[in-house]
Structure 1
């Protein structure tokens, strides 16, 4: 039988099943008399949890590096999160819940809040809330789960979900792969699985009912498929696939230090997408020389208040100093599915079509100027590109550039140095921008095409809606024609054009993009070498001759 899930981490695993039992015992709702004593118990449990998380952080640094160990920094922040803490204390004070039950109920509310968001990255934070609540409840009740570090033989884990703390505690020697009922490609556990190179399939419906302990199965982490009751011939066949994949990964490593050049000598920039300075270690390890998209909004989403100019300056400076080539930093892209509670942006009927990104920045010039000041100050530390998101009209890009120039003149008047070699660009994410890209190209130094939103808006498809997921297709002729039109208009104006959406890493589209004349592809760090390999196999002249759009 073949079972279908979501491929979260490539690779093949062949082995016996180990089912990680989901705790079924409900936290008892016993009423308490001494509110102060119960709140103190909660505070002590938080302190214990913080100590445990620090131990996990140290282990994670050793296992997967500082970048991914940051997950446990996030967990420490969530343990101290005001919303969660206020909710727990309120349940204890007003409803006289015991601390463990209060944590359980508060976690349900906060997790549901995250799950209601449209952004898959933010949706997956619900798993983090459940993880820390599980930890707190275990401390409060004295009933902690057995660690996956205690596994004694190689197995394929099957679970309802695997929290980040589960994943990092895995004895990698004995974990061949894992399958979960819940989770998605953006979950922390999926990200860690890719970092630790453990094959994984997530989102496999009713996975816990599909297997028994010691069943022999085959897991295909790339395609999200699981084969049950395999024959000897199938095992032999997939053992060969395992070997092929190992050889493939080893071959990719040989591309480090080689150029992103096609058969006929055309150079294509392959840069990395990042969310914070902590990602740079992984970028350099995968041999990217520049950053094609620094999502600056994550600097805003990691705290309880707006990051100061100085905080932003230090973050931008760190990235610029680390990279050999250009670093493109996208200005604040908030709103839509990326909520910043402290900005008090009103709830909207359709936030993706509402008050977001450049619209927020132009409406709140002081917020905008604080970021621009930090960017301009940092520009002297490397090769900076500033990119404005969600531009739909020529007037918007002119207005953004006007604020940028005003900010630059203010800094110069204060005697603060600013680089004279800053590229200013914009994202093409809306059909409106694509249709007037000939006019927009006269206002900027480059375009970067965000295929995620461009596909969503062009096809009128909510990319989170499973019922119409088949329509969300970056290979659709309408999308490809839009991209080619943008590329043609950019080159007519003498500016370069890149792609920073997820499809930039889709190697089945690489040849098409090169035939269109795309100058840069910006991808997640682990995809850099794979895209480089594909570029080195393309003859652009032949690709252009066969392009049929």
Structure 2
């Protein structure tokens, strides 16, 4: 039995087998071999395994995100059958007498470099595909295989860290808990854990190489502790705790269908934050009043090229139709900072959190922005859709956004395509936007306060830097004063204001937020009923 302490980002308890996800750098050694034909045969076997893995991924993606988004796995299957690519690998093995792993890695690098240097954008994008299939082949050759999270039993995911694109592609129904060596309380993994109502620990100083998948573990989010290979006594205690938590959850379920009204009649909307259409099930399961933050960047992650207008339209349309008249606030793409996407070619930045990201990309590359806006305006016809623009710092940016929206409207009108101009709001997540919120309120329909970035920028603390977690204080008086200022300025102009950042789910502040006059709190689906309980048991005047 081994116990490790970490930092809890969601308080819950889980027990089950672990799946260890290890980072691979794919730096393979060059080894001289005598039997070249045996190495060629190994490549053939790895190709078959890779094709089977890609077929499973394609089938899963078709079910979850549709054929258009799943097509990338078909492309990878076809590339694995490319004669030039395969002949180059076989030729290197035979002429240089090298091991299969080395031949695949070098050939992959050569082909990727060739595609990257081409003028045609489509061909450039194939560079990333070549890297992907080559890395898959190397994994299968070296016996590491491919962790297919769609076919495993419900498991605890143990990793060094998880990127947004990795978590987006996981089968969330099979995840019991997260445990990572690195990460911060505001990382994408932490946000996902809170949305899914599962325990998660970060900063656990464990040796991933010493762990093997299949071992039983207990993740205790209340104590911030993970125990690998627990003894019988620990297992029995864990079962008891899990039953107690299930009873508490059962009591919360009784609040479904009830309104979020205080004892003295003050009403507040409690909405849910989600990352994809697939998460709407969590929204319904937890009886949220609407979707206060739909992170549209999920459509851009985990792929090798920009999503088309039609792909985006179908996703947004599906979301508003499923919510059947309830509000769905879709945030325009917030790529950059911790959400890096290769095909955007953003380049390296010394301080990406303050760099080229979110609305700045949209205004500098309006062709990307227009595609998303066209899809949003078309989808607005089918339900209660609102658009929210992130990372605003000035009135000039809002004016520029409206100019682009007007251009898109004219295009759709000229093409006789059905559309609707929906409610448009902005995120208040920079001190600049908070301070000029009186002017911004005159221009927009609503404010949604992104407390994660607002705290980061106000305190000058990188929220992804785990070394600074002790200094990161979202309860800082400056943050709360800014929130009050934003709410007051919104109400003076007859506009509503809400919070969609992680602070909205802080139950210790719920009563204070209601008294501050916030109209809406958008939180992880798992927190909706917990906040409803607090609201229904409080009095504003006390």
8 Å CA contact 2:182–2:466 kept in 1: the answer is no
Give the number of equivalent residue pairs: 507
Shift of the alpha carbon at 1:325?
Answer: 0.8
Structure 2 Cα separation of the partners of residues 436 and 281 of structure 1:
37
Q: Distance in 1 between matches of 2:173 and 2:344?
A: 42
CA deviation vs aligned residue, 1:465-500 (integer Å, no higher than 9, x gap): 222221222111111111111111111111001111
Q: Structure 1 residues 81 and 239, CA, compared in 2 at 3 Å: closer, same or farther?
A: same
> For residue 501 of structure 1, what is the aligned residue in structure 2?
501
The residue aligned with 2:477 is 477
1:418 is aligned to 2:419: yes
User: What do the CA deviations read for 1:376-409 (whole angstroms, capped 9, x no partner)?
Assistant: 1111101111111111011111111122123223
**Which sits farther off after the overlay, 313-322 or 269-278?**
269-278
> What is the match of residue 115 of structure 1?
none
Alignment correspondent of 1:250: 250
Partner deviation per Cα, 1:131-174 (whole Å, 9 max, x = no partner):
9999855743568799999999x9x9896769999x999999xx
Deviation at 1:301, TM superposition (A): 2.6
How far 1:340 sits from its partner (Å)?
A: 3.3
RMSD: 5.4
| Aligned residue number for residue 398 of structure 2 | 397
Q: Verify the 8 A CA contact 1:150 1:171 in the aligned structure 2.
A: no
1:540 aligns to what SS in structure 2? coil
SS of the residue corresponding to residue 475 of structure 2 reads coil
Deviation (angstroms), 1:337: 3.3
Q: Which residue of 1 aligns with 2:383?
A: 382
The alpha-carbon deviation at position 243 of structure 1 amounts to 3.5
Q: Is the 8 A contact 1:88 1:99 kept in 2?
A: no
TM-score by length of structure 1 reads: 0.73
* Alignment correspondent of 1:360: 361
SS in 2 for 1:424: strand
Query: Does residue 45 of the first structure (1) align with residue 46 of the second (2)?
Result: yes
**Could you say if the C-alpha distance between residues 252 and 342 of structure 1 is closer, same or farther in structure 2, counting changes exceeding 3 Å?**
same
Matches for 1:78-117 after TM superposition, within 5 Å: 98-100=99-101
CA contact (8 A) 2:449 2:500 kept: yes
CA–CA distance in structure 2, aligned partners of residues 344 and 22 of structure 1: 26
The CA distance in 1 between the partners of 2:368 and 2:217, in whole Å, is 54
Q: Tell me, yes or no, if the aligned pair for 2:262 and 2:536 is still in contact at 8 Å.
A: yes
Is the partner of 2:388 in helix, strand or coil?
Answer: strand
**1:437-456 matched pairs, under 5 angstroms:** 437-456=437-456
SS in structure 1 opposite 2:522? strand
Alpha-carbon distance change, 341 to 436 in structure 1, aligned in 2, over 3 angstroms: same
Partner Cα separation in structure 2 for residue 300 and residue 171 of structure 1: 22
Q: Is the 2:6–2:201 Cα contact (8 Å) retained in structure 1?
A: yes
Change (3 A) 1:88 1:436: farther
Q: For residues 493 and 469 of structure 1, do their structure 2 counterparts lie closer, same or farther at Cα, with a shift above 3 Å needed? A: same
Change (3 A) 1:37 1:297: farther
In structure 1, what is the equivalent of residue 120 of structure 2?
A: none
Find the aligned partners of 2:152 and 2:278 in 1 and give their Cα distance: 31
Aligned equivalents of 1:263 and 1:106: distance in 2?
69
Q: Structure 1: where are the runs of 5+ without partners?
A: 109-130, 543-549
- Partner of residue 318, structure 2: 318
Q: Structure 1 CA distance, aligned partners of 2:47 and 2:9? A: 32
Change (3 A) 1:489 1:356: same
What's the CA shift for 1:440?
Answer: 0.5
What is aligned with 2:126?
A: none
Q: What SS does structure 2 have at the residue aligned with 1:508?
A: coil
Offset of residue 521 of structure 1: 1.4
Shift of 1:240: 5.5
Alignment of 1:283-362 (within 5 A): 283-323=283-323, 324-362=325-363
* Structure with greater contact order relative to length (CA < 8 Å, sep ≥ 6): 2
In the other structure, the counterpart of 1:281 is 281
Q: Does the aligned pair in 2 maintain the 1:158–1:208 contact within 8 Å?
A: no
Aligned-partner SS, 2:363: helix
User: Aligned pair in 2 of structure 1 residues 443, 57: CA closer, same or farther (>3 Å)?
Assistant: same
CA distance in 2: counterparts of 1:208 and 1:423, whole angstroms: 48
Correspondence for 1:545: none
User: How far does residue 359 in structure 1 lie from its aligned partner after superposition?
Assistant: 1.8
Q: How many angstroms apart in 2 are the aligned matches of 1:50 and 1:267?
A: 55
Say whether the 8 Å CA contact 1:151–1:171 is kept in structure 2: no
Q: Give the deviation of 1:187 after TM superposition.
A: 7.6
- Contact in 2 for aligned 1:56/1:168 (Cα 8 Å): no
Distance 2:22 2:334 in 1: 38
2:463 matched to 1:463?
yes
Residue aligned with 2:469, SS? helix
How far 1:237 moved relative to its partner? 7.6
Q: Distance in 1 between matches of 2:334 and 2:148?
A: 39
How has the CA–CA distance of structure 1 residues 390 and 180 changed in structure 2, closer, same or farther, with 3 Å as cutoff? closer
Q: Distance between the aligned counterparts of 1:277 and 1:18, measured in 2? A: 27
Distance in 2 of aligned mates of 1:208 and 1:347? 29
**TM-score calculated relative to the size of structure 2:** 0.74
Contact 1:160–1:180 (8 Å) recurs in 2: yes
State the partner residue of 1:119. none
Q: Output the CA distance in 1 between the equivalents of 2:365 and 2:280.
A: 30
Alignment match, 2:7: 6
**Distance in 2 separating the partners of 1:455 and 1:345:** 25
Counterpart contact for 2:380–2:419, Cα < 8 Å: yes
Cα distance in 2 for residues equivalent to 1:317 and 1:297? 16
Structure 1 position 344, deviation (Å):
2.7
Deviation at 1:528, TM superposition (A): 2.3
C-alpha distance in 1 between matches for 2:250 and 2:264: 26
SS state of the match for residue 541, structure 2?
Answer: helix
Which stretch shows the higher mean deviation, 230-239 or 269-278?
230-239
Separation (CA, whole Å) in 2 of partners of 1:371 and 1:150: 33
Residue number in structure 2 paired with 1:116? none
Please tell me whether the aligned partners of residues 179 and 207 of structure 1 are also in contact (alpha carbons under 8 angstroms).
Answer: no
Quick one: distance in 2 between partners of 1:146 and 1:363? Answer: 38
